[in-house]
């Protein structure tokens, strides 16, 4: 069982509330989403593992059990071309849960006309594989979002 923790402080809102049909329809995978605190912050690794994909607006960490967890910083933020995002690790790096991966400013993302909502998705998983999924309430970075069987 893998505990997937929140990469950000904010409010859990669930995937259904994400303003993007690919995420809200769980087409990428099941999970939840965070409406982040509107201040400069660091998105942290949700699990211990290896960074297998790294972009300014999104990253994937795969744990030793092969579970890949996608953290997507905002919606349509790829259109910002990395502006306002600072990578703190490299693809291929081994990271510990809670280790800073990307520094960003959700308020600046919102000011640029993009949603700062952050999906946290279990890649190649079924909804049945996840339990204790947080879909409401305040969360701190590092707090459990869901368990992956």
Active-site residue flag, 67: no
Contact yes or no for 122/130 (Cβ under 8 A)? yes
The C-alpha atoms of residue 10 and residue 124 are separated, in whole angstroms, by: 26
The residue from 55, 57, 67, 72 that is catalytic is 72
Beta bridge partners of 68: 62
The string of DSSP codes covering 26-81 is: TSS-SEEEEEE-SS-EEEE-SSSEEEEEEETTEEEEE-TTS-EEEEE-SBSGGGGT
The C-alpha atoms of residue 3 and residue 14 are separated, in whole angstroms, by: 17
Coil/strand/helix, residue 17: helix
User: 21: left (phi > 0), else alpha (psi -120 to 50), else beta?
Assistant: alpha
Catalytic positions, written as ranges: 72
């Amino acid at each position: 069982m893998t505990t997937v923790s929140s990469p950000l402080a904010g409010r859990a809102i669930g995937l259904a509330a994400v303003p993007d049909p690919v995420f809200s329809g769980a087409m990428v995978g099941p999970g939840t989403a965070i409406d982040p605190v509107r201040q400069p912050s660091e998105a942290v690794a949700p699990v211990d593992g290896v960074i297998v994909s790294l972009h300014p607006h999104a990253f994937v960490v795969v744990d030793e059990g092969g579970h890949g967890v996608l953290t997507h910083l905002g919606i349509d933020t790829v259109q910002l071309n990395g502006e306002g995002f600072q990578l703190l690790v490299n693809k291929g790096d081994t990271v510990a849960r809670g280790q800073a991966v990307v520094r960003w400013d959700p308020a600046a993302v919102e000011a640029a006309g993009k949603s700062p909502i952050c999906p946290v998705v279990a890649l190649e998983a079924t909804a049945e594989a996840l339990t204790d999924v947080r879909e409401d309430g305040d969360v701190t970075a590092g707090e459990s979002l869901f368990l992956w069987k």
